[in-house]
Amino acid sequence: MDVLGLLQKLCGRQGENRTCYLCRKEVFDGRTFCADCRRKLPYPLSFCLRCGRRMTGTGFCAQCRARLPLADKLRSVFVYDKEVKGLIRAFKEGDPAMADGFAREMLPVLQREFSGADFLTFVPMTPAARRKRGYNQSRRLACALSRLSGVPVEDIFEKKRDTPEQKGLSRSEREKNLRGAFFLHRRAVCRDKKIVLIDDVLTTGSTADELTRLLRGAHAAKVWVLTIAATPAKSLFPSDMPSPEKALGAADKP
């Protein structure tokens, strides 16, 4: 097979028949979603310049203003809402082939936001967790994205122990859970490199922070994070509490 044929096989020929991941209708442009579903998907049209979460306004979200993530830049394709949650759950619970479709969605973000990346890597799983699931979904994503982009994948992390369920924990509790759970076993390949960490979902960012901390210790030049989806930015203030700007405005009134 010639080079063009190989690229067509890896990236999908123009006009190739696929099935929309949401409505299951046929699509003929090599895309993951049909045109109707694409219009309904929650793309973060306005997002934080640092963590990439959907937010109102411009600049940095309240979370990043309070505490910056350790990675230089984080980006996600979608907002983590009901329909996207269902798709990612299907991907993680028995349909590893979905990695190819998600990688097609991630490719433009990789090319636009992380130009010049030296390699991709991924969030590891313990051997026991990987055997139970049958695959590491983050590794599948990274490998699929590498085939499309030409950016190589490096397997540099190990997860030494399974961590307790993270759902419902605060950020500080998650960080405590994760500290010491990961090991960077190929430090030399990270020195002075621009590295893109691939994962499925960005929630609190604790896992990304812990792995970034290890990469910083290995003298990586840049650490970037790319996920399928991210939870939206949240206000640091309860919903019944006025923002600082409103509170100051009220104080100025007679």
Q: What's the per-residue H, E or C state across 41-58?
A: CCCCCCECCCCCCECCCC
What are the phi and psi torsion angles at 121 (to 5°)?
Answer: -140, -175
The CA radius of gyration of the chain, in Å to the nearest whole number, is 20
- Name the CATH topology of 41-234: Rossmann fold (3.40.50)
CA distances for 5 relative to 9, 101, 147, angstroms? 6, 19, 14
Greater confidence (77 vs 2) lies with: 77
Q: Is the pLDDT of residue 5 over 80?
A: no
State the pLDDT at residue 245: 41
In DSSP terms, which residues pair with 227 in a beta bridge?
Answer: 76, 199
Instruction: Provide the residue ranges of all domains of the chain, joining segments of one domain with +.
Output: 1-40, 41-234
Closest CA to 98 of 206, 46, 20: 20
pLDDT given at position 180: 84
pTM: 0.83
DSSP letters along 136-162, please?
-HHHHHHHHHHHHH---B---EEE-S-
pLDDT at 240 over 90: no
3-state secondary structure of 126: coil
Question: How large is the average pLDDT for residues 131-160?
Answer: 96
CA dist., res. 30 & res. 32, Å (int) = 7
Q: Is the pLDDT of residue 198 over 80?
A: yes
* Sequence-ordered list of residues with C-beta below 8 angstroms from that of 222, at least 6 positions apart, any chain: 72, 193, 194, 195
Q: CA-based angle 84:87:89, to the nearest 5?
A: 110
Asked whether residue 117 carries a pLDDT value surpassing 60, the answer given is yes
Q: What mean pLDDT is predicted for residues 163-185?
A: 76
Whether residue 236 is predicted with pLDDT greater than 60 in this model: the reply is no
The per-residue pLDDT for 177 is: 78
